[in-house]
Structure 1
Amino acid sequence: MTFINKRHLQKPNFLDSLINRLQEKLSSQFLRNLSWLGITEIVYRVLRLGLVVIIARFLTPYDYGLGAIVMTVREFTLTFTNVGIGAKIIQAEEKELEVLCNSAYWLNWMIFISLFFIQSVAAFPISWFYKNNQILLPIIVSGLVYLIWPVSAIQKTLIQRENRLKIIAVTDSLQNSFASIFSAILAVAGMGVWSFVLPAFLVAPLELIIYYYFHDWRSHSKFTTKHWGEIFSFGKNLLGVGLLKTLRNNLDYLIVGRFIGIKELGIYFFGFNAGLGISLSIINAVSSAILPHLCAARSDWFEFKKRYFTSLKTISYIIIPFVILQASLAPFYVPIVFGQKWVPAIPVLIMICLSAISRPFADAASQLLVAIGKPNLDLRWNIIFTGIFAAALLIGVHGQVFGVATSVLLVHLICLPIFTFWVTIFVFPRLGRC
């Protein structure tokens, strides 16, 4: 009788199990979408790193401060585009999709044109607030891109609805890469704050061409306001959440620039971008991928639950090791890569970088509330969190830029895990195994 070692019998079973688990994970639509978004973001961030190095060497902290103000204004303005158009189209039934898209197309034009004029007018009191007329024209010019985006906005949303995020990821990567190259050229040419303003306008036509090519939807209706009320009703909570998030993301800039100084704002802005730039890309990729991923399984509660917890696990495997590694290496790579003049920004960079750990989990919880039709709860939480965040910043400002950065870290590491846990047990009160 031939002797058979039992260990040899166990190996194939173990290997088969491992292979099956890997195949199951790789077959996940969420993971594939997240992989495409992540890969293209990494490519972009490699180029972006080169841009930051160039800008850090050719621009002064004062230029950085002016750029921070212009970018903050534009980000605030763009928040008002989130009136629920994209989320409503993603959630819509197939039978109402065409009519909804036509109505949303005209609504997009009304919103973006209005925002261009509002931002142009707001540039005057903003320059007065910061006591600096150098930011007046850049703020106005940065709004010109709003007159291009509505052309292909519906096509982009439909591509997202169809879970073809590979197209969006590649498009974003191409745009960001070209924008980085233009920014570097302008910085070397001594264009100062214009290095932050002009690239977005120069590359905007690229997404119009790509989305028109990859989706055949076209508006064939005359101007209509049908479904506008329905869209606003659905999106009012999303808009509120977006405004509060944007306020939080920029409140530190407003406080540092107004109460500490433009140069100090430049140091803080550099630390924020160098420390949180890549992490925010991953967080944004998660936010873009998770809503359609969850909505596709709403009819199957077990699968819906499984997708959510699998997404959290994926986030933890990606974001936590990366953030810790980046923060720990900051004292070594900042003076070498960016130059000695940015050494004072290292503590700020580390604090802001570590604050990224809890952000994607809270974003996933927010998307979970949207997926089950409870964006109002997300809005209530964001009101509370914004109040806490503002109070912490006003306390931290007494410690200059490091005090502000420390406040950002503490608030995010304490409050966001509480919110994520609460949402999870609210939606899934009986946490069985998925």
Structure 2
Amino acid sequence: MTISIKKARVVAHKLKWKLSGQFVRNMGWLGGAELVNRVFRLATTVTLARLLSSYDYGLIAIILITHDFAATFSSAIDAKIIQASDKDLKVLCNTAYWMNWILFVAVFIIQCIAAFPLAWFYNDNNLILPICFIALGYLLLPVGSVQSSLIRRENRLNIIALINVLQGISLNVATVILAFLGFGIWSVILPFGLATPIWLLISLMNHPWRPKVPFTLYRWEEIAGYSTNVIIVEFLNKLRANLDYLIVGKFLGFQDLGLYYFAFNAGLGISMNVLNVIVSSLFPHLCAVRNNLNQLKLRYLSSLKTIALVVIPLVLLQSSLAPFYVPIIFGQKWVPAIPILILICLSAITRPFGEAAKLLLLAVDRSRVALAWNLIFTLVFALSLIVAVQWGVLGVAAAVLITHIILLPLFTLWTSKYIFDKNLPMKPLL
């Protein structure tokens, strides 16, 4: 009996390693890419911090926020291709290709139109041209979106890591050069013209899929039905991620927004990169076993442990060192941003766990549940920011920390019980 128990434990250990190994490898590829990018981004951040004013930072914040909102739509159809069954994949890819053309042309037009009311809202016409320029990249996305989705579906995230590295190096080097040449905010905007062509070229080179049928929207309802909830969830995520910027910019002005934006990027930049690595790695990892509740639970819980081991020490270390590295690296003019930086940085501890819980719901077709949670969280978050802005940017940063530290752990615990403890029936792919 003892021998059998030992054998069972060995088998279980091997199975656990097999299940988690791919997730860890994918995190390794993407994490390595982010590490390389972080080195180059650090040089860029230091350069911009010393050459640009807080007003410039405020302008850049609104421009990139607008682009960030529009980019919400880029992952919706991608998620359905990753989650689809093998027997449906061919049909859905052809339809997704043409849906992407409709989607991204519309996003390009909407972002350009949105530039004008934003300029009116913030009373600054310097926003219009940069927002329209960045939107040009959407016109290339339909050509390679399906290939990129299939690469993620096949868990070949080393290709995604390569794209991230080449994009990061190109953008950061170009930004530093343009900043020293005196291009101001355009030193950040112009390099965006390099990002999409790099992504497109590598995606086309690394996947043979090409559209084989003329224009078709066959079974578009299936893609749209799944993607709509994903889009809304991602939009709410982006809204929460940028709501503090919008409120600070409107009620406190671009000077305070620039200070807050610097603190957010200098403090949360590394942690958000880690979060992006986890999200990119985890979703295909969970979808691959979504029909087997036991394996899904094993992968999910193992992933949470990996997240905790990576994120918590990193965030605590960065927060504790902020008073030392900010004046040395970025300059004395950013010292007032240190308390803001620390509060925002600490809010990163629970963010990856909330994202993991959301991805678990999406993997098992519970996107409506994810949507309901995001609506509640966004409402509470917005109300807290509106109240907190009366105490300035430090009050806003405190509200960000409190809402994330309290609400995201509750959501993570509830999701685990909802999916695993109640043994909900999985919606089969086959």
TM-score, with length taken from structure 1: 0.92
Q: CA deviation at 1:170?
A: 1.6
d(CA) in 2 for partners of 1:299, 1:50: 45
| Residue matched to 2:236 | 244
Q: CA deviation at 1:180?
A: 0.9
Q: Indicate which of 407, 414, 429 corresponds to 2:421.
A: 429
Matched, 1:62 2:30: no
d(CA) in 2 for partners of 1:90, 1:80: 15
d(CA) in 1 for partners of 2:84, 2:294: 22
| Residue matched to 2:304 | 312
| Residue matched to 1:49 | 42
Q: CA deviation at 1:21?
A: 7.4
d(CA) in 1 for partners of 2:234, 2:41: 25
**Structure 1: gaps (5+ residues):** 1-12
d(CA) in 1 for partners of 2:208, 2:108: 28
Any conservation in 1 of the 2:16–2:298 contact (CA below 8 Å)? no
Residue type matched to 1:319 in 2? V
Task: Name the CA shift for 1:26/1:184 in 2 (closer, same or farther; >3 Å).
Answer: farther
d(CA) in 1 for partners of 2:242, 2:79: 24
d(CA) in 2 for partners of 1:102, 1:303: 31
Residue type matched to 2:52 in 1? L
d(CA) in 1 for partners of 2:293, 2:98: 36
1:249-268 aligned at under 5 Å gives the runs: 249-268=241-260
| Residue matched to 2:325 | 333
Task: Name the CA shift for 1:58/1:217 in 2 (closer, same or farther; >3 Å).
Answer: same
| Residue matched to 2:67 | 74
Matched, 1:366 2:358: yes
d(CA) in 2 for partners of 1:284, 1:233: 25
| Residue matched to 2:92 | 100
d(CA) in 2 for partners of 1:96, 1:23: 30
- Give the root-mean-square deviation of aligned CA atoms: 1.8
Residues 288-318 of structure 1, C-alpha deviations (whole Å, 9 max, x = no match): 1111111111233221111000000000000
d(CA) in 2 for partners of 1:22, 1:60: 54
Residue type matched to 1:104 in 2? A
Residues 142-169 of structure 1, C-alpha deviations (whole Å, 9 max, x = no match): 1111111221111110000001111101
Residue type matched to 1:280 in 2? M
Q: CA deviation at 1:330?
A: 0.3
Any conservation in 1 of the 2:111–2:131 contact (CA below 8 Å)? yes
Task: Name the CA shift for 1:103/1:22 in 2 (closer, same or farther; >3 Å).
Answer: closer
| Residue matched to 2:271 | 279
d(CA) in 2 for partners of 1:21, 1:374: 30
Q: Indicate which of 375, 388, 395 corresponds to 1:383.
A: 375
Q: Indicate which of 115, 132, 138 corresponds to 2:130.
A: 138
Instruction: Write out the 4+ residue segments of structure 1 that deviate beyond 4 Å after TM superposition.
Output: 20-23
| Structure 1 SS opposite 2:40 | helix
Residues 102-139 of structure 1, C-alpha deviations (whole Å, 9 max, x = no match): 11111111111111111111111110000001111111
Q: Indicate the larger mover: 198-207 or 258-267.
A: 198-207
Residue type matched to 1:132 in 2? D
Any conservation in 2 of the 1:294–1:308 contact (CA below 8 Å)? yes
Q: CA deviation at 1:22?
A: 12
d(CA) in 2 for partners of 1:184, 1:176: 12
Residue type matched to 1:61 in 2? S
d(CA) in 2 for partners of 1:385, 1:298: 26
d(CA) in 2 for partners of 1:358, 1:244: 17
1:92-131 aligned at under 5 Å gives the runs: 92-131=84-123
d(CA) in 2 for partners of 1:186, 1:22: 51
**Structure 2: gaps (5+ residues):** 1-5, 424-430
Any conservation in 1 of the 2:82–2:150 contact (CA below 8 Å)? yes
| Structure 2 SS opposite 1:428 | helix
Matched, 1:184 2:146: no
Residues 62-96 of structure 1, C-alpha deviations (whole Å, 9 max, x = no match): 111000010001111111334x3112111222222
Any conservation in 1 of the 2:19–2:299 contact (CA below 8 Å)? no
Q: CA deviation at 1:46?
A: 1.1
Q: Indicate which of 149, 155, 160 corresponds to 1:168.
A: 160
TM-score, with length taken from structure 2: 0.93
| Residue matched to 2:291 | 299
Q: Indicate which of 24, 30, 34 corresponds to 1:37.
A: 30
Matched, 1:322 2:300: no
Residue type matched to 2:35 in 1? I
Residue type matched to 2:411 in 1? F
Matched, 1:345 2:327: no
| Residue matched to 1:407 | 399
d(CA) in 1 for partners of 2:329, 2:18: 37
Any conservation in 2 of the 1:26–1:32 contact (CA below 8 Å)? no
| Residue matched to 1:5 | none
Matched, 1:354 2:346: yes
Residues 177-220 of structure 1, C-alpha deviations (whole Å, 9 max, x = no match): 21111111121111111122111212321111111111101112
Q: Indicate the larger mover: 314-323 or 295-304.
A: 295-304
Any conservation in 1 of the 2:20–2:303 contact (CA below 8 Å)? no
| Residue matched to 1:223 | 215
Tell me the percent identity: 51
d(CA) in 2 for partners of 1:21, 1:65: 51
Residue type matched to 2:417 in 1? I
